[in-house]
Structures are given as C-alpha cells and as structure tokens.
Amino acid sequence: MQDGSTGRPPLMGAELLDHALQVFDAAAADVAAALEAMRGQGAEGSGRTLLAVRDLQAALAVLMDERVKVDRLRNQVAGVVGERALDLDAARAEIGRRLARLRDAGGGD
C-alpha cells in the first residue's frame, strides 16, 4: 500500500506518531510567532486583533494538549512505562537469576 501523493508507503505506528509530534511542534511554533506578532501591535490593537490573539491562544492550547496525547500514545506504542522504556530482556534475565537462586537454595519439602 502506498500513499497516493508521494508514492511512498504510508507512515505506520511509531513513525506516524513521531511525524504527528513534528507537525504539532511546527504548528505550535507558527501559532506562537503569530501570537507574538499580534501582541507586538500594542494596546492600540483593534477589537479584531484582540479576538485574533484570543483565538491564537486557544489554538496554541489545543495544539499543546494534542501533542501531549500523541506523546503519551507514542510512549505506549514504544513500551515506555513512566519515564523509562520497559526492558523485557533485562526483566527476563532477572527472573532467570531469581529462579536459579531458588533452585540452588533447594526447596524445603
């Protein structure tokens, strides 16, 4: 399956989420720059300018909320628990070591 516009296969899973984060970051930077430009017009801005500033602030808040949601989803897909990636190989090795100690200690019958 290919993306009709680029001829490349569509992004899937973690790649798609990473791309979404990049889009959110770029959009947030653009909105923040527009917001600063509007604020730079000073207090003499028209009512339309003030409404535009409010709309840009709301858009920035929505972008940041959505970015947090996508980041959480990306961490879930990647197997990140809390702030760390879940290392299943290390967990398996630790379980093996503990079982070996139990075997060596012998079980009291």
pTM higher than 0.85: no
pLDDT at residue 2, as a whole number: 46
Residue numbers of the domain that contains 88: 13-105
Answer whether residue 19 is part of any domain: yes
- Alpha-carbon distance 14 to 23, whole Å? 14
- CA dist., res. 86 & res. 13, Å (int): 18
Q: Within a domain: residue 4? A: no
Q: Quick check: is 72 in a domain?
A: yes
- Please check the confidence at residue 1 and state whether its pLDDT lies above 50: no
Q: Which residues contact 45 (CB under 8 A, 6 or more apart)?
A: 38, 53
pLDDT for 56-85, tens place per residue? 888 888 888 888 888 888 777 776 666 666
The answer to whether residue 78 sits within a structural domain is yes
Choice between 13 and 16, residue whose per-residue pLDDT is larger: 16
- Residue 74 domain-assigned? yes
Q: Is the pLDDT of residue 3 over 60?
A: no
Position 6 in a domain: no
How many domains is the chain partitioned into structurally?
A: 1
Residue 65 has a pLDDT of 85
